[in-house]
Amino acid sequence: MDTTAMTGRRTRIGGRSMAIAVAAVVGALGIAPGASAAPGQNCAEPGEAKIDAFWPRLALGAEALEPVADGSNVKVAVLSTGVDAGHPLLDGKVRAGVDVAGAVTPIGQDCTGSGTQVAGVITDLAPGVEIVPVRTVVDDPAGNPNPGPAAIARGITAAVQRGARVVVVAAPAIRDDESLADAVRAAVDANVVVISAVEVPRDEADAGQQSFPAAYDEVIGVGVVDQFGAVPGLQGRSVDLVAPGIQVPTTQTGGGLVEVSSTGVAAGFVGAAAALVRDRRPGLRAEGVRRQLIATASAAPATRGFGLGVVDPVAAVTGLVEAGKGQAPSPVSAPEVPDTAAQVRARNVALAGSGVALALVGAVLLGAAAVRRSRASRWRPALTAPLEAPSEPLEPGPPVMLLDTAAGTTR
């Protein structure tokens, strides 16, 4: 989505621009839903000419990025179902790609539409990037949306060979494979940032299932958040960052716009952020870019599903996290002071002395207050008068006979 042709741009968490996002964006271009036709049978329907929704753009602070970086000359590979190169909002941004899934549809077409949707959010947030479509999933809307790990491995290798500096795995695998791990390591060694969507579990029984290559340490695993900053009830494992992925407006195969919900679209936003960092800091290595994105993420609730926070492209592009070598500085902890028995005794004595001193100070203060009150009542110090002793008879009187009768006789 070329920002020079529209008033709005990308949709993203933090407030970035997203060309797809606003009605003004689409209206300014005069996009017709059927501007380009998707080939094949039972393909996705073209999108709407106008969508009045742009929350990801506002959330990601797209406008703040425009004068800073746009991803120019950074190739971003989208590993999915292909990309509709004829879409007006992607015109001139899609480069020659490759099909490693053995499909018959040309790589510049996208019957399913998934790859086109991911490409849309990437170019909206980073309009200067070049999209390299790599088909790792058979382009069939009724087919299996999860490719095998070997297909993703071939796709990553093909993307690196075509000069991609950022790889977005929009459709992850649910099985591990040594070939995939090797392909990821080779890509990172070749200075390529690898980002992967995290599969959303279908139910609680699948909640412990991992996604690949998101589960690898070298890869940024991405989950979704909605416009209210919440994650869905179930979020997959291996989430490092989250990004807008619920009801996100983006390009649709065949033309127009569509609202989609997927972790692939969320991974696209993180891929765009990586491209912006690479544009702004071309000397930063792939591992440094990964650390930069994670270290500058917006704080999120310490609950399941948020990973380390919400991706923040503005902070990632403008922040100074890496220590000159693409490494985020390690947190500094206070030195541990030994607490010996002698130190404990000395501390106890000091505390006891402090207590006595405080007690004396309190007594002085109370005495001073009493003197002030007494002076106010005109009291003066003096000796107290001796108590008057009661007078007593020298000799006791006669005994009283309790049993005497009234007549004075005794029984």
> Does residue 243 lie in a domain region?
yes
**Residue 374 lies inside a defined structural domain of this protein:** no
Residue 116: pLDDT above 90?
Answer: yes
Residue 25 has pLDDT above 90, yes or no: no
- Cβ neighbors of 237 (< 8 A, separation 6 or more) are 198, 207, 208, 209, 210, 211, 215
Query: Is the confidence at residue 262, as pLDDT, over 60?
Result: yes
Model pLDDT, residue 302: 67
Domain annotation covers residue 132:
yes
Residue 403, pLDDT > 60, answer no
The verdict on residue 409 lying in a domain is no
| Buried b or exposed e, range 41-68, using 16+ CB within 10 angstroms | eebbebbbbbbebbbbbbbbbbbbbeee
Map tokens 């990821």 to a residue.
184
Q: Please report which helix (H) or strand (E) contains residue 132, including its range.
A: strand 130-135
The residue assigned the tokens 């002030």 is: 372
**Residue 171's CATH number:** 3.40.50.200
Please say whether the beta carbons of 9 and 18 come within 8 A: yes
Q: What is the pLDDT of residue 347?
A: 47
Half-sphere exposure of 224 (CA within 13 A, CB side): 26
DSSP 347-403: HHHHHHHHHHHHHHHHHHHHHHHHHHHHHHTT----PPPPPPPPP--SSPPPPP-TT
Asked whether residue 146 is domain-assigned, the answer is yes
Reading the block at residue 100, the tokens are 């490693």
Query: Is the predicted pLDDT of residue 279 greater than 70, yes or no?
Result: yes
pLDDT at residue 145, rounded to an integer: 72
Evaluate whether residue 345 is within a structural domain.
Answer: no
For position 385, what pLDDT does the model report?
52
Q: List the single range of 63-72, 154-163, 311-320, 330-339 with lowest mean pLDDT.
A: 330-339
What is the number of domains present in the chain?
1
Q: Is 130 part of a structural domain of the chain?
A: yes
Domain residues for the domain of 168 are 37-49+67-318
Q: Is the pTM of this model over 0.85?
A: no
Query: Out of 9-23, 244-258, 291-305, which region has the weakest mean confidence (pLDDT)?
Result: 9-23
Residues 349-381: tens digit of each pLDDT: 444 555 545 555 455 455 555 545 545 555 454
Cis peptide before 329 (omega within 30 of 0): no
CA distance 221 to 296: 16
| Domain presence at residue 56 | no
Cβ(238)–Cβ(211) under 8 Å? yes
Mean pLDDT of the chain: 77
